[in-house]
């Protein structure tokens, strides 16, 4: 569907929405704003480009779902309040109505691999919270029907008391997803505001992959995945975590004593064996048909009894530096000549290890004007990068990391660019640094090789409204770029 955007009509629509919201929530003088950040709300997934055809929601995830509090029923036995059935995702606001579309394949699903989950909100205009609640769709719900009260369990599976205090962006709500929930579900998160008549209703589309509680009281909490070859002197640690943080008592560490230990399948087996020998409430290995768990030379699952309090493990590799690793720039031209601000910078490098390398060319103001990356084998390699800059001294920075991640090397070399410069200075090559665009930000549009400056407030708000699927304000290219940018 093609949407023709008109600034005057958009501002009118926005004003109308604000008037409607003001009338609806007459008792409040200042609106709160916020959205479910982890897992991402449907609207935030729109802004991230994971969902498409989202209407106004992709620009204002913080405003989505604001309506009366009282879901699913009114306070004190009053009639139903909150968003009406069929408009739970949008909160009943026309600007966000695209979010009410519902089908089994319409929205991106966030994988949930751990039933113990930390919900997190992002507040852009914070107000006191009386509570946060989390509802989940019923088993057997129809993903092709619009979201209604009947879609969700009648009571929240998790409630966090807000004590009428202002929440923080760093707050995490530790909750446990019910054991009988798996696969495609919708979670409805509700932030009930303490000093207004409003609440924020955010839906998150999820795919619950976490295993349910297993026979014998065991719950799968993690896996030991053998991936990285290790060397003698390295260590592997299984770090245990409860809902309140790390538990040193249940954490287990092994040392790599020789080359055979360092084979991935072998250190996975060795770690699993030590876990089983150390703890009775934790088991590592593979379950057989009888429910017994025994280590294997491969991927081992980790299981915990509820009384242990352990909800997850993280496998951490402590690897010694490869002190013999070397990498450097081997050759480059005496100077590189710019043609209308552009040049191809080619240079040679040498390394005695296979590495992932990244090269960046910085101008005199330490602004990146070109970059390239590659995986290189041991020996000599030629690299090249496209550069946009002005004449002057530049610094070539080469950073290489061995493929196992244990060692990083860096080399810096000075080089000269001559010839015809790009002309106008700029801050970013669009869309780099998008979230930081403000009035006066200058960007180079690589598609046209032109420089654009972000307009003053309030038009500056349009400058950062961009995604590959919504590029109307893209400088020099989008249909409405002139509303946000001035060409220099």
Chain segment 242-252, per-residue pLDDT in tens: 988 899 999 99
pLDDT of 211? 67
Structure tokens at 288: 């057989």
For residues 442-463, give the mean pLDDT.
90
C-beta separation of 237 from 246 below 8 A: no
Q: What is the dihedral of CA 310, 170, 70, 107, to 10 degrees?
A: -80
DSSP-derived letter for residue 154 is S
pLDDT of 423? 75
Integer Cα distance of 120 and 191 in angstroms:
11
Q: 213 falls in which pLDDT band (50, 70, 90)?
A: low
For residues 212-225, give the mean pLDDT.
79
For residues 24-51, give the mean pLDDT.
76
Chain centroid offset of residue 380 CA: 37
Is residue 351 scored above 90 in pLDDT?
Answer: yes
Integer Cα distance of 119 and 40 in angstroms:
9
Is residue 122 scored above 80 in pLDDT?
Answer: yes
For residues 391-404, give the mean pLDDT.
94
Is residue 345 scored above 70 in pLDDT?
Answer: yes
C-beta separation of 285 from 260 below 8 A: no
Q: 482 falls in which pLDDT band (50, 70, 90)?
A: very high
Q: 76 falls in which pLDDT band (50, 70, 90)?
A: very low
Chain centroid offset of residue 387 CA: 30
- On average, the pLDDT of the chain sits at 86
Chain segment 163-175, per-residue pLDDT in tens: 889 898 888 999 9
- Nearest Cα to 341, choosing from 431, 425, 413? 425
* For the chain, percent of residues with pLDDT exceeding 90: 54
pTM score, whole prediction: 0.45
Q: What is the dihedral of CA 116, 310, 216, 140, to 10 degrees?
A: 0
Q: Which residues contact 51 (CB under 8 A, 6 or more apart)?
A: 42, 45, 58, 107, 108
Is residue 263 scored above 60 in pLDDT?
Answer: yes
Q: 32 falls in which pLDDT band (50, 70, 90)?
A: low
Q: Which residues contact 11 (CB under 8 A, 6 or more apart)?
A: none
How far is residue 72 from each of residues 80, 161, 163, measured CA to CA in Å? 6, 18, 21
> Residue 161 belongs to what H/E stretch?
strand 158-165
CA distance from start to end of the chain: 33
pLDDT of 23? 38
Is residue 190 scored above 60 in pLDDT?
Answer: yes
C-beta separation of 201 from 65 below 8 A: yes
Integer Cα distance of 318 and 406 in angstroms:
9
For residues 281-310, give the mean pLDDT.
89
- Nearest Cα to 110, choosing from 6, 230, 203? 203
| Cβ atoms < 10 Å from Cβ of 197 | 15
pLDDT of 353? 95
> Residue 266 belongs to what H/E stretch?
helix 264-278
Which pairing describes strands 335-338 and 408-419: parallel, antiparallel, or unpaired? parallel
Chain centroid offset of residue 406 CA: 25
pLDDT of 140? 85
Please state which of the ranges 31-40, 133-142, 260-269 shows the lowest mean pLDDT.
Answer: 31-40
């Amino acid at each position: 569907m093609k949407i023709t955007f008109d600034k005057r009509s958009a501002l009118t629509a926005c004003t109308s929405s604000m008037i409607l919201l003001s009338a609806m929530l007459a008792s409040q003088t200042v609106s709160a704003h916020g959205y479910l950040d982890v897992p991402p709300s449907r609207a935030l997934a729109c802004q991230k480009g994971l969902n498409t055809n989202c209407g106004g929601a992709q620009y204002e995830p913080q405003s989505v779902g604001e309506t009366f509090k009282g879901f699913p029923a009114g306070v004190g036995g009053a009639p139903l309040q909150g968003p009406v059935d069929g408009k739970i995702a949008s909160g009943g606001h026309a600007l966000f109505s695209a979010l009410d579309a519902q089908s089994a394949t319409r929205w991106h699903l966030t994988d949930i691999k751990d039933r113990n989950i930390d919900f997190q909100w992002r507040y852009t205009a914070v107000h006191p919270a009386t509570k946060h609640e989390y509802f989940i769709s019923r088993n057997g719900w129809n993903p092709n029907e619009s979201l209604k009260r009947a879609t969700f369990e009648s009571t929240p599976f998790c409630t966090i008391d807000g004590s009428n205090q202002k929440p923080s962006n760093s707050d995490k709500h530790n909750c446990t997803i019910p054991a009988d929930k798996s696969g495609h579900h919708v979670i409805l998160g509700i932030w009930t505001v303490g000093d207004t008549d409003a609440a924020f209703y955010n839906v998150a589309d999820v795919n619950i992959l976490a295993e349910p509680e297993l026979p014998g009281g065991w719950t799968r909490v993690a896996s030991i995945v053998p991936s990285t070859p290790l060397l003698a002197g390295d260590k592997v640690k299984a770090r245990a975590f409860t809902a309140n943080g790390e538990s040193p008592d249940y954490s287990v560490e092994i040392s790599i004593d020789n080359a055979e230990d360092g084979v991935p399948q072998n250190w996975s087996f060795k770690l699993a064996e030590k876990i089983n020998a150390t703890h009775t409430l934790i088991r590592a290995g593979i379950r057989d048909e009888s429910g017994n768990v025994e280590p294997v030379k491969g991927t081992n699952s980790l299981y915990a009894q509820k009384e242990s309090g352990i909800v997850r493990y993280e496998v951490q590799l402590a690897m010694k530096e490869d002190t013999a690793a070397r990498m450097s720039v081997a050759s480059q031209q005496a100077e590189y000549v710019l043609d209308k601000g552009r040049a191809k910078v080619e240079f040679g490098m040498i390394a005695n290890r296979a590495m992932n390398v990244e090269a960046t060319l910085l101008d005199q103001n330490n602004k990146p004007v070109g970059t390239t990356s590659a995986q290189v084998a041991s020996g000599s390699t030629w690299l090249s990068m496209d550069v946009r800059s002005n004449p002057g001294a530049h610094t070539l920075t080469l950073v290489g990391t061995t493929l196992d991640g244990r060692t990083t090397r860096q080399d810096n070399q000075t080089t000269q660019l001559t010839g015809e410069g790009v002309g106008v200075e700029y801050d970013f090559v669009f869309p780099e640094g998008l979230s930081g665009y403000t009035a006066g930000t200058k960007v180079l549009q690589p598609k046209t090789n032109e420089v654009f400056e972000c307009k003053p407030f309030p038009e500056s708000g349009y400058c950062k409204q961009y995604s590959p699927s919504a590029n109307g304000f893209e400088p020099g290219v989008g249909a409405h770029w002139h509303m946000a940018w001035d060409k220099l």
